[in-house]
Amino acid sequence: MSLSPPPSSSTTSLTTSASPFPTIYTPSTTTGDSSNSSDFVFPPQYSFPPFFTLQPNATTRASQLSSWSTLIQSYCRYHRLFSLVLVDAIQTPLFTNSKLSRALSLRDAQTILSWMASPEGGRRAEFADTGGKDAAKSSGEGGGGKVWIYWRRPEEWAEMLERWVEGTGQKGAVLTLYELVESDAVRKEEWAGMEGEMLRKSLNVLVKRGRAQIFGQGEELGVKFF
């Protein structure tokens, strides 16, 4: 079965932003289906009912997995989401098209995210290890737990943070984690508002490379860049 959307008189495009990192698609702001999700414009496939059911044909399924990965990354980037709690996210416009009365099943969503977390999917997702029952819920087939969405992987964030520190002349200074994600100085940066755990994942990349050191404990954490 082909998953090409039905012919349309208008053309919807996904544009790319200039970046030294792997391509992340950002939505056009002029065409497509917004589906009441702020101003985010969904790709043409989102208006095609079969898109919401993973198909058995291997070629079609591979195309679907790739398209869903691109959509999830684009949606999360647009809304500055660094993680999803799948059991909650499945009810949002990302996975549910109310105009079509179509929704991706929890099992199919988990399959897509498992593919994104694999080498084949570019490791663009990671199931959070929250411990105990939540961890089992996240990792089990059809699970609905927390998933990190890597529209930028931790190593990519690490490089961006390091360049920002160098560009602002703050090498050698100790910065709090709050300053790195919540201060006015980073308001326009892509990592503004980043969750603490994601920030620590990214900073740990630099720590392992000998480019940064983390001080303190709990909410008193600070980081020094070398």
Annotated domain spans of the chain: 14-149, 154-225
SS3 160: helix
Positive or negative torsion for Cα 101, 105, 108, 114: positive
**Could you tell me what percent of the chain has a pLDDT over 70?**
76
Q: SS in 3 state form for 50-72?
A: HHHCCCCCHHHHHHHHHHHHHHH
pLDDT in tens, 100-158: 999 999 999 999 999 999 999 999 999 997 554 444 344 444 467 999 999 999 999 99
CA distances (Å), 63 to each of 4, 31, 70, 102, 153, in order?
10, 22, 11, 19, 22
Please compute the mean of the pLDDT values over residues 33-55 and round it to a whole number. 84
DSSP per-residue letters across 12-47: --EEE---SSSP-EEE-SSSSB-TTSTT--B-GGGG
Question: CATH topology of 14-149 equal to that of 154-225?
Answer: yes
CA dihedral angle for residue 86, residue 24, residue 206, residue 123, rounded to 10 degrees: 50
Least confident window among 48-52, 74-78, 129-133, 206-210:
129-133
What architecture does CATH give domain 154-225? Orthogonal Bundle (1.10)
pLDDT in tens, 199-220: 999 999 999 999 999 988 766 7
One of 3.40.50.150, 1.10.10.570, 3.40.640.10, 1.20.59.10 is the CATH number of 14-149, namely 1.10.10.570
Q: Is this structure's pTM higher than 0.85?
A: no
Average pLDDT, the chain: 82
DSSP state of 209: T
Q: What is the pLDDT of residue 219?
A: 65
